[in-house]
Structure 1
Amino acid sequence: MNLKNIVKIAVFSVIGFVLTMGLGYATGALGVMPSLYLSCAFATIVVAPVFVILARSVKVRGTAFLYFFLIGLFYTLMGMWPIIIINTIAGILAELVVGSSENYDRGNSKVGLAFGAGMFVYSLHPMIIVFFFSKSKAMLEMMGADYFDFLRNFYTPANIGICFVISIIASIIGAKFGSYIYNKFFAGRNKKSVLG
């Protein structure tokens, strides 16, 4: 992976991060309960084309990992340090889904599915933080003990199941949507295009 590819991944990661944050705030405007059920569902669908365009443009192994890792790093810089751990796992899973490096350049759905898999892991971050990082002093100061108590009460087995189903559906839709947008508008462009 050369410097040009790293810069491109960084730029697209910033775009993905901003869209994910913005859609997260928009979902939050629906209320606490809907935002917990939907978590990153809208972001998974809307941001998928950004990722697929990036991956199919760079065509280098490690793109998926670096994309998710950088988004985790951006959250860490904002004080949400558990996200870098969660997104590292998301990036590893995304790379495993892509499979061979040739899949970054093939017209199959592996890249879209990789994004969906990574976003599925990322979408679980509220419950992962509650169950694994609620004892962290930094997290308690940031989110508050009362909010952690609310989240612990919210994440019953039934609600966890609903969140899982919504995240899986959003991941599948996002994977298909990302691949569709790339194939419809960007496939076949030569290497001298804006993204080349």
Structure 2
Amino acid sequence: MTRKVNAATLAHIKASEGLRLNAYPDPGSRNGDPWTIGYGSTAGVRKGDTITEAESERRLVIDLTHAENAVARLVKVPLNDNQFGALASFVFNIGSEAFKNSTLLRKLNAGDYAAVPSELARWNKNDGAVMAGLTKRRAAEAALWRAPVSTVPNDDIPHHPVPPNVPVIDLPDPPEGGKFPAWLWVIAVLALLAIVGLFARF
């Protein structure tokens, strides 16, 4: 099954691309090619084309699948979800062939994870000109690359809510090794005897 990007990556890609329902020319290209529509989709797009939001979402899934497959196929070292997402966003933008021949991929596959943010930053030009939008996008991808992956609760474990009006008592963790000191056991036994003695009076 194809590995998919996480929600943080999808939100980043949508924000970076923006949603355009009318075809527009590549802002960094001298001749306007390729024409783009939806969330940065270029396949078969021509001047004058229009699209619906639903079709934009469908195109995004298809285009993103190509990027996800390329990262899964070309990267030979383990990646967490944010690292995978950052690279998928990168490939979504520059194409799989450019990624395949990049110094970034070569360094990463050699185990140099720390080199990725600086290598991403180098890809901020279009037709030789530095683009502010690409500089911002590469910085966001680098931030995503560095971001720790949040721990997701195990949904298989049932969670029982505390009934209303019932105080919640935070008990201290036991000492290392899970054993309580002897004096604490003495107090517990004395308290138990006191409770037994109290009930014996009735």
TM-score (norm 2): 0.31
Higher relative contact order (CA 8 A, sep 6+): 1
Pair member with larger Rg: 2
Which of the two has greater strand per residue?
A: 2
- Structure number with the higher helix fraction is 1
